[in-house]
Amino acid sequence: MRRKILITGGSSGIGLALANRLSARHDVMVTGSRDRSKITEVFSPNLIYVQASQSDPKAAVKIIAEALLKAGWVKLDNVVLNAGTGFAVKNAIDDVERVRQTIDINSTATILLSRTLYPWLAKAEGTLTIVGSVAHKGQALFPVYAASKGALHGFVRALRSEWRGRVAVQILHPGPTKTDMHAKAGHDAGRLHSIFINPSSMAAMMEYAMSSKRSPLSLSFLKYYLGGSIMGKSL
Amino acid sequence: MRALVTGGSAGLGQALCARLLADGFHVTNLDRDLPDQASTAEYVRCDLSSRDAVDKALMTLTSSDGFDLVIFNAGISATGKFEEISTSSHARIIAVNAEAPISLCAGLMKAGKIDNGARVGFVSSLSHFTGYPGAASYAASKDALAVYAKAVRKVWQKQLGIKVTVVFPGPLKTDHAARHAPDGADAEKRMAPNDAAKLILRDIKRGKAHSMPGVAARIFAFLGQIAPKVMTFAMKKLIYSKLDKTVAD
Ligand SMILES: NC(=O)c1ccc[n+]([C@@H]2O[C@H](COP(=O)([O-])OP(=O)(O)OC[C@H]3O[C@@H](n4cnc5c(N)ncnc54)[C@H](OP(=O)(O)O)[C@@H]3O)[C@@H](O)[C@H]2O)c1
């Protein structure tokens, strides 16, 4: 079956790798805050791109809903809320403006999108996949980032229970992945970065996790070394 | 000794302020509303859903001496079916319950206004352990606080001697709880705010990582830790399936 799939944060990294992978067999719309011309990674010509900055969650929700209507998409089989940002800080003291930005982009926009996209998902009896992080339990290097992802963990736990039988809701917690995120976060992982998981392998693990509909799932080294990126059911 | 309590005008916050005053603290109460009862606490007006108001409050708070004890207690809720609660209500819950306390805390820390050796408490919710179908964005906001506290605790303790406590209160006999409980829920089983405040302050002063006032809270947290999925299912039966109304603060 050809699916209709929406992926936020699909202008780079994990989201784009997942979108490229799925675009061969499905219709995929991706979002990002940057202009289309600023996308530097491989971008499948089959993808539909929507520029929607989640720094203003309410505006982003409106732009995305309008884009769906404009494209004539009346249902969504899969929604992957993956857009995210984070900043490394010293002494676990975040900057107030960055607290707001991180919570807006990672938590509030994700929650508002879940709410607004409900009719599309319900119509397809679809799956809502939310991207957390292994940091969701708390990490001194990025306290607010961890908090924003912890929020998503509790959110999914409640919503998965509420929507059972209507829309599957799951949270996936990726482990360290080789994307621009670490450089953007102002965190130099040094030599460690080379052992991080490739975005394409992470995308494979995500696709299999999406088709399993299980939650919560941690997609980190353990799963990877156990063959998580080569074994699983595709969507 | 100087203490700051957010949401000190009613409920648990008011009880916390009263106890701190009795203990001899100079208390600052940051709240949107004036206190219900006359109090000698200093009052700073602040609507936590407004970033401008939070910035202004931060200016006021950082222009005087630092604090020895800070409790981020203020919170709002919205209960009902997730898709029937407006996006504005969901956004407000995250802003008031998660963004505002974290911003205030980070802002005070940046300005060096939480003194070395101080105590900081974040009032989260037992839903951190049990899940909370029927209040998904509330659960999200309270988990953000619990995780934030956990993220900063070790570093602040090591470098500044500041100890951070997460408070997980069970159902309290406050107006807030009464509004959001399903009709017919038994109010008598809830703890009086004054009793909860006593236990919470004891834990915060001792610098404990967690405070779970009351036996019921501890049992819920324990069950949630050993059987998280079963607990979320039980919460759905207990609360979500009985929701007869959508209520937003
Ligand atoms: N990389 C890791 O090690 C790792 C580990 C655990 C979890 N994660 C999570 O995985 C997700 C993807 O991260 P990634 O590693 O692929 O990082 P990335 O390459 O930096 O990609 C992040 C994506 O989110 C989008 N985004 C950021 N801010 C946005 C905003 N204000 N509005 C709209 N979109 C915005 C970006 O779009 P623009 O650049 O166009 O704004 C980009 O498409 C994030 O949620 C991240 O927290 C990553």
pTM of the model: 0.96
Mean of pLDDT values over B137-163: 98
pLDDT grade for A136, boundaries at 50, 70 and 90: very high
Cβ of residue A99 closer than 8 Å to a chain B Cβ: yes
- For residue B165, the distance in angstroms to the closest alpha carbon of chain A comes to 14
- Residue A113 — very low, low, confident or very high, per pLDDT cuts 50/70/90? very high
With tokens 């089983």, the residue in question is B189
Answer for the pair B42, B26: CB distance below 8 angstroms, yes or no.
Answer: yes
Residue B197 CB neighbour total at 10 angstroms: 27
Burial of A185 (0-12, 13-18, 19+ CB in 10 A): middle
Q: Which of B87, B116, B243 to mutate to test the interface with A (most CBs of A within 10 A)?
A: B87
Q: How far is the CA of B43 from the centre of ligand 1 (A)?
A: 41
B151 with A146: Cβ contact below 8 A: yes
Contact pairs from chain A to chain B, CB under 8 Å? 158
Q: Which pLDDT value is given to residue B69?
A: 98
ipTM of the complex: 0.96
H/E stretch holding B91 reads: helix B87-94
Chain A hits for B87, Cβ within 8 Å: 58, 61, 112, 115-116
Domains detected in chain A: 4-225 (3.40.50.720)
- Calculate how far, in angstroms, residue A129's C-alpha sits from the geometric centre of ligand 1: 15
Q: Across residues A131-157, what is the average pLDDT?
A: 97
Question: Quick one: CATH architecture of B2-248?
Answer: 3-Layer(aba) Sandwich (3.40)
Binning pLDDT at 50, 70 and 90, where does residue B41 land?
very high
Cβ contact (<8 Å) for B236 and A153?
no
Residue A201 has, within 13 A of its CA and on its CB side, a CA count of 21
Give residue B185's pLDDT band: very low, low, confident or very high (50, 70, 90).
Answer: low
Q: Is the pLDDT assigned to residue A28 strictly greater than 90?
A: yes
User: Which residues touch B208 (CB under 8 Å, ≥6 apart)?
Assistant: B165
Sign, CA dihedral B168-B169-B174-B179, equals: positive
Q: For residue A49, name the pLDDT band (cuts at 50, 70, 90).
A: very high
Averaged pLDDT, A79-93: 97
What pLDDT score does B187 carry?
A: 63
**pLDDT of B188 above 70:** no
Q: What is the pLDDT of residues B92-117, one digit of tens each?
A: 999 999 999 999 999 999 999 999 99
Separation of alpha carbons B172 and A226, rounded Å:
47
Using the Cβ of A42 and the Cβ atoms of chain B, whether some distance falls under 8 Å is answered with: no
Q: What is the pLDDT of residue B168?
A: 96
Partner-chain contact B147 A61, CB within 8 Å:
no
How far, in Å, CA of B51 to CA of A40, rounded? 35
pLDDT at B116: 98
pLDDT score of A215 more than 70 = yes
* Mean pLDDT of all residues in A171-182: 94
A147·B81 Cβ contact <8 A = no
Q: Is the pLDDT of residue A182 over 90?
A: no
Position B183 pLDDT exceeds 90: no
Scanning every residue of chain B, which has its alpha carbon at the shortest distance from the alpha carbon of A161?
Answer: B133
pLDDT band at B221 (very low <50, low <70, confident <90, very high): confident
Rg of chain B's alpha carbons, rounded to an integer?
17
Q: Is the Cβ of B44 closer than 8 Å to some Cβ of chain A?
A: no
| Pairwise CB contact (< 8 Å): A161 & B131 | yes
> Cα dihedral sign for A229, A121, B246, B185?
negative
Q: Are the C-beta atoms of B37 and B61 separated by less than 8 Å?
A: no
Residues of B in contact with A155 (CB under 8 A): 136-137, 139-140, 143
pLDDT category of residue B14 using cuts at 50, 70 and 90: very high
pLDDT of B196 reads: 95
Q: Is the pLDDT of residue A59 over 90?
A: yes
Q: Quick check: B57 pLDDT over 90?
A: yes
Parallel/antiparallel/unpaired status of strands A78-81 and A48-51: unpaired
Q: Would the CB atoms of B127 and A154 count as touching at under 8 Å?
A: yes
> Which residues approach ligand 1 with their CB closer than 6 A?
A 9-15, 32-34, 53-55, 82-85, 105, 131, 133, 174, 176-177, 179-181, 184
Contact call for residues B74 and A79 (beta carbons, < 8 A): no
